[in-house]
Amino acid sequence: MYWDNPISVSFMNNRHQASFRLIQDLRFDSMLDVGCGSARFLSLVGSHYPSAVLTGCDSDPGLVPVARSSCPKATILQGDFMQLAIQPNKKSARIVVLLEVLEHSHDPAKMLQKAARLAGDNGYVLVSIPRPELWHWRIIWALWSRTLGRRWLGEHTGMTEKDLLRMADDCGLGIVKRSHFFFGCISILLMKKR
């Protein structure tokens, strides 16, 4: 998997740092990381927010022990996010994180709706997606997925940043902060209910 490939590890660490910069000034007391993988992002957040309640979920049962080891303070759930019975956080601010998850979903609009509901009225949704609408992303992805990244599992739906913005609008989410990473190929958006 990606944690044994130094290029993937470097990419993920840099993406996590870019994502963290969007939330580092926020006040929140809990985070749900959907598709948490090895929980490196949760671990990064936990080191800066030691009192935050951290939860991660991933559908890959092989990643759950890795995630639990990487971030022992987090509760790591195994299963499909859309099937897990996670309760919304109504009293305090929560961040629901979907870092490069939506583009793998068969119904990204429903996934984003669930994330917005779980974040609550005073919470945030942090999303990153690749930008297949950019020619240089298509070249990078074609080269990566046919060489060192050939062990990558999963498909990209082709969802664009414009698609994400339309879905966010339909969910009542407005952009608080936006960033682009990796030569503009990855869009990172921090959103909140309007």
> Residue 124 in contact with residue 95, Cβ under 8 Å?
yes
Pick from 35, 2, 20: which is nearest to 124 by CA?
20
Domains and CATH numbers, the chain: 2-193 (3.40.50.150)
Identify the helix (H) or strand (E) that includes residue 164.
Answer: helix 161-170
pTM: 0.92
Pick from 98, 103, 101: which is nearest to 124 by CA?
98
- What does the mean pLDDT of the chain come to? 89
Q: Is the pLDDT of residue 191 over 70?
A: yes
- List pLDDT tens digits, range 136-159: 988 888 887 777 665 555 567 789
**Mean pLDDT score, 154-179:** 91
What are the counts of helices (DSSP H) followed by strands (DSSP E) for the chain? Answer: 6, 7
User: CA-CA distance, 132 to 153, in Å (whole number)?
Assistant: 17
SS3 (DSSP) at 148: helix
Q: What local confidence, expressed as pLDDT, does residue 155 receive?
A: 66
Place of tokens 């974040």: 119
Q: What local confidence, expressed as pLDDT, does residue 153 receive?
A: 54
Tokens of 40: 């490196």
